[in-house]
Amino acid sequence: MITFYKGEDFTLTFTSTQDISGYTKSVSYFTPFGTPILAVVTPINNFSFSAKFAAVDTATLKAGALNVVVTFTDANSNKSISKAMPAQILDSLVNGNIRTADIPSTSLEIVFEQNTIALDINFVGLTNTQTTAVNNLPADTNGAIATLQNNINTEAATRKSADDTLTANLTTLTNNAEVKTNKTSDIYTNRQSTTIYPNVKGIADYIDNFTIKPWVLSFRKNGDGTGISTINITSNIDTTVTITNGYLYTDSLGNGQTTFINLTHNVATNVHFKVIKNNGFISTNNIIRIDSFTDRANSPIPYFSPANLPAGLTVLSWNGNNTGTGDIANLPAGLTYFVWQGNNTGMGDIANLPAGVTFFYWQGNNTGMGDIANLPAGLTYFYWAGNNTGTGDIANLPAGVTIFIWQGNNTGTFSGTRTWAQNMRKIYLRPAAGVFTSAMTDALLISLATQSSWTSEKTIDLRGNCGARTSASNSAVATLQSYGVTVLTN
C-alpha cells in the first residue's frame, strides 16, 4: 500500500504493457466522507500516464485510508470502468514524522470487458520539503502562529542589536589597544614620553627593562696598583659609572681622570679605571652587555662570579686574567652569549646553562661537567676547554652546532649517527685517554663526510687521545678533502 503525507505534492505514474492511448484516463482521490479531488492527469506515452496530487489539496485530507480511483473510458464505446487503489495518508512531516514507511510502488488491474489492463503504479516526483509542508498547513485562523512569529522576529532583532553594539565596542577597544601599544613602543625608542597610557604588557615590559637595577663590581689592587684595566659595557638606559677607592679615565693611558663616566643607552662604552685599595669597586646600572675586559700590568683584578653579574645581562665576554669562580647555574637567565676565559675556576653542570645560550666558550681552569646532550637546544658554537669532565655522545649535540671544540678531561664518544648542520666550520676533539676509539674516529669522519656544506675554518682535528683512523674512513677523508676540509688524525 502506497503511503502519502498530508500537505505534499506527489505524483503517481501508471504504466501498462499494452497501448492504452485509446482510453481517456482520470484519477480522483478522497478520504472517507470527503469530497473526491481530481488529480491532474498527463499522458506520458501510449503506455503510461501520470497523475499529480497537489499539496494544497492533500493538505485538506483527513489522515487515514485514502482511496485513489482510476477511471478508464473507451473513446469508441464511451464506456467507463473505475477501480479503486487503496492507499494511506498520514499527517504531514511538520511534527517530526520521518518518511521511513513509504512503499514506492504497487499494481492495479482494470478489467475492461475482455480486455484486462494491468497497471504498475509508482510513487514518484515528491517535490515538497518539510517547509513546503508547513506552508501548506491550514490557515492560521486565530493568529497564534503569526503572533509567535512576530515575537520571534522582535527577539531576533533585539539580540542582533546587542551583538552589533558588542562588536562595535570590541573594535573600539582593539583600536585603542593598538594605539596604546604604539605609544609604549615610543617609550622604548624615544624614551621621552611622560603622558602615556601603555597597556598592561607594555607596563610590565617597561618595568622589566627600565627599572633601575644597580650593579657593583668589586676589584682588588694588583701589584703596585698603577695599571689601568678596561671594561666594555652597555646599559639599556642613560646612566653613569662611578668608582670607589679608585680613579676613572677617558683612555687606557690614564688621561682624563674623572669621577664619573656617562653611559648612553644601548651604546657600548669603554670604562678605564684603576683602584688604589683592595676594596675598590665600580657602580653603575642596568648593564645588558659586557663585551670585553682587558687587564694590564699592575691593573685591578675583578672579583667575578656568575652570581653577581647584572640580572639583565644578555652578552658576557669575560676575558683577561680574571680569577672568577662560581657555578654557571647562577648565570643571568637571559644570557645568550657566554665567554669565560682567563684563570677562572668556574664550575657547574652545562645542563644548567641559561636556555637561550647560543654561544658557549669556556676556558681557564674550569671544572665544569655534564652531558653534552643537555646543552641549550639553540647552541651553534661550542668551545669547552679547561679541566672539564664533560661526557656524552657527540651525536647528541644540539642540531645547529657548526663549531665543536672539546678539550679537557672529557670522555665524549660517538655512536655513529648524526645529521650535521649546514655550513659546518670546525671539529676539534681532545678527549681523555682510552675513550675515543679508532672505530669512533672512523665513524665520526664517515658521518661528517655526509655533510658537503663547510665554511670558514673547514677543519677536522681528531688527534690527541683520539683513536687512529683506519682504512675504513679512507673514502670519507677523500670526500671531505674534496669539500675543502682539512682532516688531521693520528
Q: What is the DSSP string of 265-295?
A: TT--EEEEEEESSTTEEEEEE-EEEEEEEE-
| Of residues 369, 426, 423, 418, the one with CA closest to residue 398 | 418
Rounded CA-CA distance 317/214 in Å is 20
Could you count the other beta carbons within 10 Å of the beta carbon of residue 1?
11
Binds another protein (CB under 8 A): choice among 20, 66, 315, 443? 315
* Size of the residue set binding another protein (CB under 8 A): 31
Rounded CA-CA distance 123/125 in Å is 7
Shortest Cβ distance from residue 176 to another protein (Å)? Answer: 35
Q: Does 486 bind another protein (CB under 8 A)?
A: yes
Shortest Cβ distance from residue 339 to another protein (Å)? Answer: 6
Residues numbered 375-404 forming contacts with another protein, rule: CB under 8 A? 380-381, 383
Residues numbered 69-108 forming contacts with another protein, rule: CB under 8 A? none
Q: Does 215 bind another protein (CB under 8 A)?
A: no
Could you count the other beta carbons within 10 Å of the beta carbon of residue 202?
20
Closer CB to another protein, 8 or 291, in the complex: 291
Interface region with another protein, contact rule CB under 8 A, candidates 61-69, 106-114, 115-123, 479-487: 479-487
Q: Does 291 bind another protein (CB under 8 A)?
A: yes
Q: Does 488 bind another protein (CB under 8 A)?
A: yes
3-state secondary structure of 212: coil
Binds another protein (CB under 8 A): choice among 361, 391, 406, 416? 361
Q: Tell me the residue type at 87.
A: A
Could you count the other beta carbons within 10 Å of the beta carbon of residue 448?
23
Binds another protein (CB under 8 A): choice among 319, 345, 367, 452? 319
| Of residues 333, 430, 451, the one with CA closest to residue 387 | 430
Closer CB to another protein, 97 or 479, in the complex: 479
Closer CB to another protein, 125 or 400, in the complex: 400
Q: Does 338 bind another protein (CB under 8 A)?
A: no
- The H-assigned helical ranges of 325-473 are 438-448
Sign for the pseudo-dihedral over CA of 329, 280, 287, 357: negative
Shortest Cβ distance from residue 463 to another protein (Å)? Answer: 4
Q: Given the DSSP bridges, would you call strands 381-384 and 403-406 parallel, antiparallel or unpaired?
A: parallel
Place of cell 657547574: 348
Closer CB to another protein, 84 or 268, in the complex: 268
Closer CB to another protein, 49 or 384, in the complex: 384
Binds another protein (CB under 8 A): choice among 41, 375, 443, 480? 480
Q: Does 484 bind another protein (CB under 8 A)?
A: yes
Interface region with another protein, contact rule CB under 8 A, candidates 44-52, 160-168, 232-240, 357-365: 357-365
Listing from the earlier edge strand, what are the strands of the sheet with 369-371? 369-371, 389-393, 411-413
Q: Tell me the residue type at 72.
A: F
3-state secondary structure of 123: strand
Closer CB to another protein, 292 or 305, in the complex: 292
Closer CB to another protein, 216 or 468, in the complex: 468
Residues numbered 419-478 forming contacts with another protein, rule: CB under 8 A? 457-459, 463, 474, 477-478
Torsions phi, psi for 334 (to 5 deg): -90, 10
Q: Tell me the residue type at 20.
A: I
Closer CB to another protein, 7 or 342, in the complex: 342
Binds another protein (CB under 8 A): choice among 228, 290, 395, 487? 487
Closer CB to another protein, 159 or 463, in the complex: 463
Q: Does 481 bind another protein (CB under 8 A)?
A: yes
Rounded CA-CA distance 475/479 in Å is 6
3-state secondary structure of 210: helix
Closer CB to another protein, 29 or 318, in the complex: 318
Binds another protein (CB under 8 A): choice among 358, 387, 396, 409? 358
Q: Does 276 bind another protein (CB under 8 A)?
A: no
Rounded CA-CA distance 316/304 in Å is 12
Q: What is the DSSP string of 314-378?
A: -EEEE-SS---EEEGGGS-TT--EEEE-TT-EEE-BGGGS-TT--EEEE-TT---EEEGGGS-TT
Q: Identify any residues that bridge with 246 across adjacent strands, giving them in sequence order.
A: 275
Contacts of 357 (CB under 8 A, 6+ apart): 335, 336, 337, 338, 376, 378, 379
Closer CB to another protein, 136 or 341, in the complex: 341
Shortest Cβ distance from residue 218 to another protein (Å)? Answer: 24
Residues that bind another protein (CB under 8 A): 291-292, 315, 317, 319, 337, 339, 358-359, 361, 380-381, 383, 457-459, 463, 474, 477-478, 480-490
